[in-house]
Structure 1
Amino acid sequence: MADPIRVLIVDDEERFRETLSKLLSRHGFAVRDAGGGEAALNLLAEAPCDVIVLDVKMPGLSGEEALPLLRQACPEAEVLVLTGHASVDIAAAMIAGGAADYLLKPCPTEELEGAIRAVFDRRQATKPR
């Protein structure tokens, strides 16, 4: 059996983070969570992940500021932006900065799970063998 996809959820809304962690864990993902960009960087220093689910608007290090740092700390991870702030400019900036996809809250669990698996599978398909 394949190892579970390792997901890091980065969001300042604790209740949302905990609920999403539980839901994704039930779907077979290995989930860790961080309340902000700095905490996420600390977790990535301990162990890498496969997919980072990143909020945009957070106190301290915002998602826009954290994105290049997270990509540098864990270049093998794909980043999915999941935010309640719909903005074409922010979406374009995040995609240009290396995010694989941009999803809006509220996002059905099935849609998020599908997006996580899709970016993970795409990364696996492009890895050198």
Structure 2
Amino acid sequence: MKQIRILLVDDEIDFSAPLGKRLARRGMDVHTASSGQNALTELDNRPVDVILLDIKMAGMDGLRTLSEIKRTHPQIAVIMLTAHADTDMVLASMGLGACGYLMKPVNIDELVDKVREASRNDT
């Protein structure tokens, strides 16, 4: 099985750094970006299979970032992460092409399952 390449986009380093390490220990190739703009730059320089994208970020928020990702890289699966139970935001992200969402703090086993499923179902 090929190693799944993940881009983890979150402006909270205290969340993304440990999560990235946990995913790497499960055999995934994880890179991080601390903003939507940094994520778009990473995508221009590095192929990824799945993006884990925070909805609420300073600057370019997750919905705007998702919209841009889907415009420029429609084949990449995007899973939204949120600490806020906002149904409208979740529905908007699904309408923009996200393949799923998870609430923070994420259950690592559930996240790994979603990432594996998303990488198998590349659009």
In structure 1, what is the equivalent of residue 120 of structure 2? 121
Partner amino acid, structure 2, of 1:46 = N
In structure 2, what is the equivalent of residue 106 of structure 1? 105
In structure 2, what is the equivalent of residue 87 of structure 1? 86
Larger Rg belongs to: 1
Q: Which runs of 4+ in 1 moved over 3 A?
A: none
Tell me the CA shift for residue 16 of structure 1.
Answer: 0.8
Partners of 2:117 and 2:84 in 1: CA distance: 23
In structure 2, what is the equivalent of residue 49 of structure 1? 48
Partners of 2:28 and 2:71 in 1: CA distance: 23
When normalised by structure 2's length, the TM-score is 0.95
Partner amino acid, structure 2, of 1:96 = G
Tell me the CA shift for residue 71 of structure 1.
Answer: 1.8
Tell me the CA shift for residue 68 of structure 1.
Answer: 1.2
Instruction: Give aligned-pair identity as a percent.
Output: 39
When normalised by structure 1's length, the TM-score is 0.91
Tell me the CA shift for residue 122 of structure 1.
Answer: 2.0
SS of the equivalent of 1:98 reads: coil
Q: Which runs of 5+ in 2 are unaligned?
A: none
Q: Which runs of 5+ in 1 are unaligned?
A: none
In structure 1, what is the equivalent of residue 16 of structure 2? 17
Deviations 1:39-87 (A, max 9, x none): 0001001012100000011001000111011123322210000110111
- Cα RMSD (Å): 1.1
Give the paired residue count.
123
Partner amino acid, structure 2, of 1:80 = I
